[in-house]
Chains A and B, each alone.
Chain A
C-alpha cells in the first residue's frame, strides 16, 4: 500500500477529486495549506506599508491506494492538476505500513 500526498493549486481540487474517483480511489483527505516553492509570492500595499507575501495558499490531498494502483493514481493527479504554469505543485509517495477501518476492524488492503 502506498500513501500519495499531493500539493496542488486550490482551484484544481475538484478536477483532481473527479479524476481519482474515476480510477476507483474511494476517498481522499484535503487540507488547506500554505507554502513556498519556485512560484514567487506577491506584494501587498496598504497605504505606505508594503508587505511581501511569500507563502501562497495551496491544497494538500492525501490518498491511500493499493500498490498496483499507484501509478494510475499519480497519472490521474498529474493530468488533472497540471496547468503548465509554475506553481502546479508536487506529488509525494510513501510506503504505507498499515490501514485499519475503525468501524469494522478490517486491516490492510481490504480497509482501503
Chain B
C-alpha cells in the first residue's frame, strides 16, 4: 500500500524520467508540466476511502469497544477513542507525515515536510503503478486516518482504569516513537516511477524503509497497525495492572447491541482501509475488496463454529469478534492473495483468535480488557505470516511485482517470503514493546497511569468526565 513517497510537481520531471519521457513524446503534452496528473476517478475513490477509515474509528471502533465495557465506563471509552483520533490528526499534519513518508534513514523519515511544508493542491504522491499518481494531500489525509486508528486500538487494552490525560500523553509518545518509525520502515519508498533498470531499483530500495527494502509485504497494515497497537496494548495491560475486582466481579459487556453496530461499521469502513491501500482504483483494488468481504465472513463463521463446539453456544459477541479477527488477518494480505487464500486466512483467524481470547489470555495473565492482543495481535501475526504463504502465484496469489521487468516476478519462494514476514513481525513486536514500556513508565512518573480505586469503582464517566452515558 501505502508506501510511497510523494514529491512536488516541480521536482517530478527529475524524479520520474520515464513519465516525463512519455509526456514529451506526446505533442499535446509537450508544453505541460512534465508530471503525471492525478486521475479524477482515483482521487475520488481515495477521498471516499479516507472517509471510510474515519468511519471505522469514530464511531465504529468507539462503539465496538464502548459496548464491551460496563455502562459506568461507556463515555470514557468513547472519549478516549474520539479525542485520541483528534490529537493524532493534528500531530500527523504537524510532524507525523514528514517523519513517516519522506526519505531520511531506513528507520525514520526526515523533516522536509514539517508542518506540511511545500505540500500544495498540485503536489502529487506515487502509487504502485508507474505513471499513476494521486494528490499528495489525499495521500497524507488517508495516512492520517491510519495513524489515528492504530493509536485508538490500544485504548481497549487498558479500558476502565486509565487516567484520561495519561492516555493522551501516552498516545502522543507512542505515535511519535513507535507508529512513525514502524510505518516508515514498512511502507516508505519513493514509488515505482523512477525504476527502469537494476541500478535504479537499487537506488529506490536503498532509500526506502528498512523492512520495505527487505521485501516485507504488508498491504494495509498487519504489522504497522495491528501488531504494533496490540503489543502496545498488552504491555499497557501489564504495566497498568488489572482492573479492581478483575476475576471476582462481573465485568460483562453492557451493550452487545452497540458492539455489533461497531463491528459492522468496522467491516464497512475496512473496505476503505484495505481496498484504499491500493491508492488507486483498479483491479487490485477490487481484489482487496473481495478479500475483505470473504476473509471476514469466513472468520465470523469459524469463530462461532469453534465457540459452538467448545462452549455449546454461538454468540453475537463471537460473531462480531470473529469478523474483526478476519478483518485484521486479511489486512496485510488483501492485495496479494486470491479469494480462496483469503477464505483460508479467515477460517484460521477465527479459530486461532478464539484461542487468543481464551487459552492464550489465561497464559499471558494480563487484564487486556477488550482483548486487543488476543484479536489484533494474534490475528495480525497470523495474517502477516500467511501473507507470505498465500501471496504465492501457485496458491492463487499475485506474487511480487518486478518494476524492472514490468511484470510479476516468476520466482516466488514461500519459505523465503515467510522468513521476511517473520522478520517484519519480530521487528514490530520488539520495537513497539520497548517504546511502549518506556512511554508508560514515563507517563506514570509524570501524570500517573491509573485513576484511584475510588474513582474506578464510581466509574470513569462520572469521575473523569463528569457525565453519565445513560439516564434512568
Which residue of chain B has the shortest Cβ distance to A45 in the bound complex?
Answer: B311
* A46 within 8 A of partner (CB): yes
Cβ contact within 8 Å between A47 and B358: yes
* A94 within 8 A of partner (CB): no
Cβ contact within 8 Å between A47 and B252: no
CA distance A47 to B325 in the complex (A): 13
Shortest Cβ gap from B413 to chain A (Å): 37
How big is the A interface, by class? Answer: under 10
Cβ contact within 8 Å between A48 and B361: yes
CA distance A47 to B374 in the complex (A): 10
* B371 within 8 A of partner (CB): yes
Shortest Cβ gap from A53 to chain B (Å): 8
Which residues does chain B contribute within 8 Å of A44, judged by CB atoms?
252
Cβ contact within 8 Å between B252 and A48: no
* A51 within 8 A of partner (CB): yes
* A86 within 8 A of partner (CB): no
* A49 within 8 A of partner (CB): yes
Cβ contact within 8 Å between A51 and B250: yes
For window 42-61 of A, CB contacts with B under 8 Å fall at: 44-49, 51
Cβ contact within 8 Å between B313 and A47: no
Cβ contact within 8 Å between B315 and A49: no
* B357 within 8 A of partner (CB): yes
Which residues does chain A contribute within 8 Å of B311, judged by CB atoms?
45
Cβ contact within 8 Å between B251 and A49: yes
Which residues does chain A contribute within 8 Å of B313, judged by CB atoms?
45
Interchain CB contact (< 8 A) of A48 among B250, B315, B357 = B357
Contact with B along A23-57 (1 / 0, CB 8 A): 00000000000000000000011111101000000
Shortest Cβ gap from A54 to chain B (Å): 10
Contact with A along B245-259 (1 / 0, CB 8 A): 000001111000000
Which residues does chain B contribute within 8 Å of A45, judged by CB atoms?
311, 313, 315
For window 70-93 of B, CB contacts with A under 8 Å fall at: none
Cβ contact within 8 Å between B358 and A51: no
Which residues does chain A contribute within 8 Å of B250, judged by CB atoms?
51
Which residue of chain B has the shortest Cβ distance to A53 in the bound complex?
Answer: B250
CA distance A48 to B253 in the complex (A): 12
Cβ contact within 8 Å between B357 and A51: no
Which residue of chain A has the shortest Cβ distance to B362 in the bound complex?
Answer: A48
Shortest Cβ gap from B357 to chain A (Å): 4
* B321 within 8 A of partner (CB): yes
CA distance A48 to B311 in the complex (A): 10
For window 307-342 of B, CB contacts with A under 8 Å fall at: 311, 313, 315, 317-318, 321
CA distance A46 to B361 in the complex (A): 13
Shortest Cβ gap from B256 to chain A (Å): 8
Which residues does chain B contribute within 8 Å of A46, judged by CB atoms?
252-253, 315, 317
Shortest Cβ gap from B254 to chain A (Å): 11
Which residues does chain A contribute within 8 Å of B318, judged by CB atoms?
47
Cβ contact within 8 Å between B362 and A51: no
CA distance A51 to B245 in the complex (A): 13
For window 334-362 of B, CB contacts with A under 8 Å fall at: 357-358, 361-362
Shortest Cβ gap from B317 to chain A (Å): 6
Which residue of chain B has the shortest Cβ distance to A51 in the bound complex?
Answer: B250
Shortest Cβ gap from A64 to chain B (Å): 28
Shortest Cβ gap from A84 to chain B (Å): 27
Which residues does chain B contribute within 8 Å of A48, judged by CB atoms?
357-358, 361-362, 371, 374
For window 210-253 of B, CB contacts with A under 8 Å fall at: 250-253
Which residues does chain B contribute within 8 Å of A49, judged by CB atoms?
251-252
CA distance A49 to B315 in the complex (A): 13
Shortest Cβ gap from B387 to chain A (Å): 26
CA distance A44 to B253 in the complex (A): 11
Could you list 18 further interchain pairs (A-B, Cβ under 8 angstroms) beyond the known A46-B252, A48-B371, A49-B251? Answer: A44-B252, A45-B313, A45-B315, A46-B315, A46-B317, A47-B318, A47-B321, A47-B357, A47-B358, A47-B361, A47-B371, A47-B374, A48-B357, A48-B361, A48-B362, A49-B252, A51-B250, A51-B252
Q: List 13 A-B contacts (CB under 8 A).
A: A45-B315, A46-B253, A46-B315, A47-B318, A47-B321, A47-B358, A47-B371, A47-B374, A48-B357, A48-B361, A48-B362, A48-B371, A51-B250
A residues neighboring B (CB under 8 Å) = 44-49, 51
B residues neighboring A (CB under 8 Å) = 250-253, 311, 313, 315, 317-318, 321, 357-358, 361-362, 371, 374
Across the A-B interface, give the 7 residue pairs with the lowest CB-CB distance, nearest first: A47-B357, A48-B358, A51-B250, A48-B357, A48-B361, A51-B252, A46-B252
